[in-house]
Structure 1
Amino acid sequence: MLARAVPYLPLGVVAALGAALAYVVRLPCRTGGWNDQVSTYTNFCYTDIYPLYFDRQLATQNPYFAHVPFDKQVEYPVVLGEVMQAIAWVARHLETDVVAQAVRFYDLTVVLLGACLVAGVLLMAAVAGPARRWDALWYAISPAVVLAAYINWDLVAGALSMGVLLAWKRQRQVLAGVLLGLAIATKFYPLMFLGALFLLTLRTAKWRPFLVTLGATAGAWLAANLPFMIFAWEGWRRFYVFSQERGVDWGSPWLFFQNKGWPVLGEADPSTLGMVSLALLCLGIAVLTLAAPRRPRLAQICFLALAAFMMTNKVWSPQFVLWLVPFAVLARPNWKPLALWQVAEVWYFAAIWLYLLSQAPLSRTDLGIGDDTYFTAVWGRVITIAIMMAFVVRDIFRPDKDVVRQDGVDDQAGGVFDGARDRFTLTSLAR
């Protein structure tokens, strides 16, 4: 057991270093800068963690159950909301002053998120397998991960998502389903992975493992959500109402179209446009999965589905990069497009805060940037991710170009799909 763990120790150390560097990035704000928006943006150290301690009244009560205004309720799924509440409870018992509590809340949250980063890196390395475990360094210490790590609580869902892949790889379908249900109850994006599992199940006819995982996912999600649905309906539905009613926001390509007043794209409802665009992309992924000459790898389909979800969403926050990094690396661990994407993400990280400086209510045009410069960062992310998606599609149609399969691996995260025969493809249907 010790011999098997030793190769992962350096990765854990590097991931801990990445977590520490992410803390250092926000030190200028931790010492008082969060109380000054201009300083927060010029030091590039914004986080949701500190202000939400006040705005969601975590200092006094559980906002899911308390009678608070709708806009003061936690706008996250229940697992994440209760993680916030548990840490707030500890902070309240360690400090009496509310400002000191908020700082302690931030510090304790960072400890949890740092541990999730280390766990996610180690789980990703186990998923990648011995031949490619060092690819997990991209998740451990890449610039975009360090900069975005502590903006929000996304690393919690990241660790759960990597746990899902590892459990599926080891054919522990119940565990995979439980972790997936908890991941969806933490951040909603892991729901896309069910689609990837379904498509590969359709191609291989491995229905029993998929249905077991689906049942466990539904059971875990219900177990986490049902108490709140029964006893705190208003607080529980806040996330879903907010997601539906929220307008187009920072980072989304739809914001560019609205800002420039494009016909149709800038005038139509972004929710409708996003759903239609996502549906079309998912249809394309389904056709690709069933038409490819060789069954695609699970990580490839997960990456394509998640990238499609992000590119068509109404909101594309800087921390969403944390969702995609491990799946992008598992799908295509080629350093050149990954490095190009990292440059785009770092530029966006800087651009969003500089852009907010120039917007009302601050209106510091002497310190910030304008619309056109900001939108270069928005499209930089879209274009570089589209390039990576194109390479993954090429690898699916040309498996000899897939660097993972060049190592003699069929599907390192595939579980029951690994080495499975095709049972249904569009070619066989045509025949």
Structure 2
Amino acid sequence: MVTARPHPRWLPLAVAACWLALGWAWLARGAAHPGVAYRPWAFDHHAYSDLLAMGGDRYFGGGRPTPYLGDRVEYPPLLALALWLPSFASHAPLAYFTVSYAFLAACGLLAVALLLRLRGADAWWLAGGPALAYYGGLNWDLLPIALLAAAALAHERGRLRGAGALAALGASAKLFPLVLVPPLLGAGSRPGRGRALLAVGAAFAAVLLAVNLPLALAAPDGWSWFWRFNAGRGAENSVWELLRVSPRLAHLVFDAGFLNAVTALLVALAALAAALAARAAARDPGRAVRLGAAFVLVVWIGTNKVWSPQYALWACAAGALAAAPRALLALHAAVAVADYHVAFEARATRGLVHYFDALYLGEEVLRFGAYALLAAWLGRELWRVARAAGDEPPPYGPVVSP
């Protein structure tokens, strides 16, 4: 019987590089339409990038306002730096975009390389689908995704302080890498692992404070804008917009307090489940941590009050960490492509708002269903690993104390 040969380890990196190159070629066309004209052009041509939009708002005219100190940025510090630093290379739209995109492409390839080294992960979830081409340059998400993958690999290799520090750096770029913290703390709270719990918690807190505290003290209004801006938002492009269908519930779409409370409760319950499962997983704590992080991430994104199309990359990161089935990868790849085109067609200036509003609501239901299926699979696997017998050694080696 002929057996299939394993693919070369460089193949996922090569495929990811091809997707990223296609993404640059598609989005770079927008550099010819800077300023006020950019957003209408980008929506009409399904080629929008926050790199060009936000860079044009700030830098293409020759300015260079400092994040937080002279520029209110609705992102955490490391993403604010990723927005700002390429302006030192050039104020020209194409050059600024290319420098920014090259950095993000490097982050994407680094994330794939780290996933290839993480035993039990599936790098094809990130490298194989079209989400890299569609979303790699839409926003700066590949930076925190690389940090999330690095933190997971550090934990797998027993470098617990490094895992905590890298998770803090990821959270200082975008909040989603916080999903590693509950299962890390859960695994560290097992009897006899007090030093591990202290190592993770202390490293995470120290790095988070080192990055954020100086900015919070120097520019409290600018630093806190991220929190105030997001706390006051209603439902945007998310499944919560379905409340508009009911006249009695439609007002909740704009009720930030209600949405904040409900989504926070759902994420907190997912985090508690991840922490308890990681604590109970005696046989394979490394896989329990990855599954727990992926579970919290998918619940968070799937139920978040605000949806941005590039969040598809985070579903890819979750699926990669958990080595979710390829059938789910195919489903999310299809949804990612549909979501991109529907989202921007709905914003295009074609005078068909009502038609695309109905289409977009339908697509939101489809997207939520895909995330629910992935969350259900992750929850089932998390339950299984938590209940697995603890009398055998972990298949990927023990997680050692710091």
Is TM more than 0.5 here? yes
Q: Which residue of 2 aligns with 1:256?
A: 242
Q: Which residue of 2 aligns with 1:274?
A: 263
C-alpha separation in 1, matches of 2:249 and 2:397: 43
Deviation of the 1:66 alpha carbon: 4.3
Conserved? CA contact 2:28–2:97, under 8 Å: no
Deviation of the 1:340 alpha carbon: 1.3
1:206 aligns with one of 193, 204, 210 = 193
Structure 1 residue matching 2:307: 3-state secondary structure = coil
Q: Which residue of 1 aligns with 2:46?
A: 44
C-alpha separation in 2, matches of 1:311 and 1:394: 17
Q: Which residue of 2 aligns with 1:77?
A: 76
C-alpha separation in 2, matches of 1:204 and 1:349: 47
C-alpha separation in 2, matches of 1:84 and 1:316: 21
TM-score by length of 1: 0.80
Conserved? CA contact 1:74–1:239, under 8 Å: yes
Structure 1 residue matching 2:123: 3-state secondary structure = helix
Q: 2:189 matched to 1:189?
A: no
User: Residues 291, 414 of structure 1: CA spacing in aligned structure 2 closer, same or farther, 3 A cutoff?
Assistant: closer
Q: Which residue of 2 aligns with 1:326?
A: 317
Conserved? CA contact 2:74–2:229, under 8 Å: yes
2:399 aligns with one of 403, 415, 418 = 415
Q: 2:367 matched to 1:390?
A: no
Q: 2:33 matched to 1:32?
A: yes
Q: Which residue of 2 aligns with 1:63?
A: 66
Q: Which residue of 2 aligns with 1:379?
A: 365
C-alpha separation in 1, matches of 2:124 and 2:259: 36
Deviation of the 1:158 alpha carbon: 0.8
Moved more, 275-284 or 259-268: 259-268
Unaligned runs of 5+ in 1: 1-5, 93-100, 418-431
Residues 281-292 of structure 1 mapped to structure 2, 5 A cutoff = 281-285=270-274
Deviation of the 1:199 alpha carbon: 2.3
Conserved? CA contact 2:151–2:166, under 8 Å: yes
AA aligned to 2:64 is Q
TM-score by length of 2: 0.85
AA aligned to 1:19 is L
2:146 aligns with one of 159, 162, 167 = 159
Conserved? CA contact 2:51–2:97, under 8 Å: yes
Q: 2:220 matched to 1:233?
A: yes
Q: Which residue of 2 aligns with 1:10?
A: 11
C-alpha separation in 2, matches of 1:57 and 1:245: 27
C-alpha separation in 2, matches of 1:111 and 1:143: 18
Conserved? CA contact 2:298–2:374, under 8 Å: no
Conserved? CA contact 2:332–2:370, under 8 Å: yes
Q: Which residue of 1 aligns with 2:90?
A: 91
Q: 2:345 matched to 1:354?
A: yes
AA aligned to 1:346 is V
Structure 2 residue matching 1:352: 3-state secondary structure = helix
Unaligned runs of 5+ in 2: 1-6
Q: Which residue of 1 aligns with 2:137?
A: 150
Q: 2:230 matched to 1:243?
A: yes
Conserved? CA contact 2:107–2:143, under 8 Å: yes
Deviation of the 1:329 alpha carbon: 2.6
When the two structures are aligned, how many residues end up with a matched partner?
386
AA aligned to 1:121 is V
Deviation of the 1:289 alpha carbon: 5.5
Give the aligned CA root-mean-square deviation in angstroms. Answer: 3.2
Deviation of the 1:149 alpha carbon: 1.0
* CA displacement, residues 155-201 of structure 1 (integer Å, 9 cap, x when unaligned): 01111111111111111122222212211111111112101212233
C-alpha separation in 1, matches of 2:377 and 2:123: 20
Identical aligned residues as a percent: 25
User: Residues 226, 37 of structure 1: CA spacing in aligned structure 2 closer, same or farther, 3 A cutoff?
Assistant: closer
